[in-house]
Amino acid sequence: MKIKDLPKSHPARIKRRKRIAVWTFVFIMMSALVAPFSGFLLSGIDGAIAQEQKPASNPRADYWRAVKGGVSGYSSIKGPETGVLTQSAGIDWANFRRGPIVKYAPWAIGAMLLLILLYHVIHGKNRLIHRPSGVMVPRWSWFERLVHWTTAISFIVLSITGLSMLLGRTLLLPIFGGMEGGKAAYAAWAQMSIQLHNVFGPVMSVGVVLMIVMWIWHNFPSKGDWNWIKSGGGIIGNKHPPAGRMNFGEKVWFWIICTFGLAVVISGLAMVAPSYPSVAAMLPVTLTRGLMQDANVWHVVAGIVWMVVAIGHIYIGTAGTEGALQGMTTGYVSAEWAEQHHSLWFNKLRRQGRISRHPDRYARGHSAIRQRSL
């Protein structure tokens, strides 16, 4: 019998789905690491070498040197501040961005990765106490999963391209610069990063808004939260505090998306809007350079905080908790997982008779499922 002819909840098919999910995840992470090196392909190594052998003259840099040297010009463009060529606040902004932001961002991300690594080595995976019997509980609809994964993939692309733009000169250029054709490859990747950021930004923005609308109802504070907080969410030790459909930790993650995520989306919109005058005209504020500098600082700071917390979310959803990823990939979690991690929600479903009446729809007729007493 071929594996595709087995029922979807057959252990062999579940194992295969898990394998695909794990390898897809590994593939995405590996791609993230090697993506900047695609700059070599984009620029064409031969062309890049020829370019680097030319005398070092950059017309754009010469122009800005002249501007800084006091050469005056004129602008026929009508719009806010078009007659102002340089402004000192811009220098302050650039120094802040190149200074503390670039200095601390890699440390914040590195510290979170280290913390998770230490936790995983010391505490290990949060395993299921009872082996799954085969009874499945519906947790996420296909639409919720579509929105989640579209947003998650966009978020990863935006994180890689955003970090490449922010830290490229400090971290990537020294690595690329030492290689033949490296500078042109870096420039090509930097260009590509901007394009990808502009394409995936709107996709993720729509995803974030949909997530908020779909899930806000599950994420308001509830009675069980205090117990969950008091027992530290069961992070240390093997206790599993009772929780509703979302536990307090997930609620915090959700509200971080509502605040920091929306800050990233709105500030991103403020930065691209001037390129689309008809969009800019609809906004209730005039997008001056000062406002866009502020938007840039908000965008980067909120984005870094969001990324740091997202690393924790990704860990908990994959290597940190046995069975969680299955829910977001197939839509179903095992009854044992639901009972262990979200007992209040599970008991409510059981009281409503929604578990016994609706076992895994993929597995109707699968005897192991019918035999499990609930």
Task: Say if residues 53 and 181 touch (Cβ distance below 8 Å).
Answer: no
258 near ligand HEM, rule: CB under 6 A = no
Interface residue with ligand HEM, options 218, 350, 366, 372 (CB under 6 A) = 218
Find the Cα–Cα–Cα–Cα dihedral 351, 357, 361, 365, rounded to 10°: 140
For ligand HEM, the binding residues in 4-43 under the rule CB under 6 A are: none
Interface residue with ligand HEM, options 176, 215, 228, 260 (CB under 6 A) = 215
Q: Which of 299, 291, 341 is nearest to 316 (CA)?
A: 341
What distances in angstroms separate CA 16 from CA 4, 75, 303, one per listed residue? 10, 63, 35
Closer Cβ to ligand HEM, 190 or 310, answer by number:
310
* Stretch near ligand HEM under the rule CB under 6 A, chosen from 72-80, 144-152, 162-170, 264-272: 144-152
Closer Cβ to ligand HEM, 107 or 217, answer by number:
217
Q: Which of 215, 197, 106 is nearest to 154 (CA)?
A: 197
Interface residue with ligand HEM, options 157, 166, 190, 328 (CB under 6 A) = 328
Q: Which of 367, 8, 359 is nearest to 349 (CA)?
A: 359
Alpha-helix runs per DSSP H in 216-288: 225-230, 248-256, 262-272, 277-282
Element holding 315 (H helix, E strand): helix 289-315
Task: Say if residues 374 and 350 touch (Cβ distance below 8 Å).
Answer: yes
* Stretch near ligand HEM under the rule CB under 6 A, chosen from 30-38, 99-107, 314-322, 347-355: 314-322
Helix (H, G, I), strand (E, B) or coil at 333: strand
240 near ligand HEM, rule: CB under 6 A = no
Angle at alpha carbon of residue 363, lines to 362 and 364, rounded to 5° = 105
200 near ligand HEM, rule: CB under 6 A = no
> Cα Rg for the chain, rounded, in angstroms?
25
Closer Cβ to ligand HEM, 192 or 257, answer by number:
257
What is the rounded CA–CA span in Å between residue 241 and residue 234?
6
370 near ligand HEM, rule: CB under 6 A = no
152 near ligand HEM, rule: CB under 6 A = yes
148 near ligand HEM, rule: CB under 6 A = yes
Task: Say if residues 369 and 359 touch (Cβ distance below 8 Å).
Answer: yes
Task: Say if residues 132 and 167 touch (Cβ distance below 8 Å).
Answer: no
- Beta 136-138 vs 332-334: how paired, if at all? antiparallel
* Stretch near ligand HEM under the rule CB under 6 A, chosen from 9-17, 115-123, 171-179, 252-260: 252-260
Residue nearest to ligand HEM (CB): 317
Closer Cβ to ligand HEM, 172 or 328, answer by number:
328
- List Cβ neighbours of 319 (8 Å cut-off, separation of 6 or more): 120, 125
For ligand HEM, the binding residues in 154-183 under the rule CB under 6 A are: 155
Closer Cβ to ligand HEM, 270 or 310, answer by number:
310
- List Cβ neighbours of 258 (8 Å cut-off, separation of 6 or more): 212, 216
Shortest spacing between CB 199 and ligand HEM, in angstroms: 17
Closer Cβ to ligand HEM, 182 or 207, answer by number:
207
356 near ligand HEM, rule: CB under 6 A = no
Closer Cβ to ligand HEM, 257 or 295, answer by number:
257
Interface residue with ligand HEM, options 43, 251, 292, 301 (CB under 6 A) = 251
Interface residue with ligand HEM, options 250, 322, 336, 360 (CB under 6 A) = 250
Q: Which residues bind ligand HEM (CB under 6 A)?
A: 139, 148, 151-152, 155, 211, 215, 218-219, 246, 250-251, 253-254, 257, 310, 313-314, 317-318, 324-325, 327-328
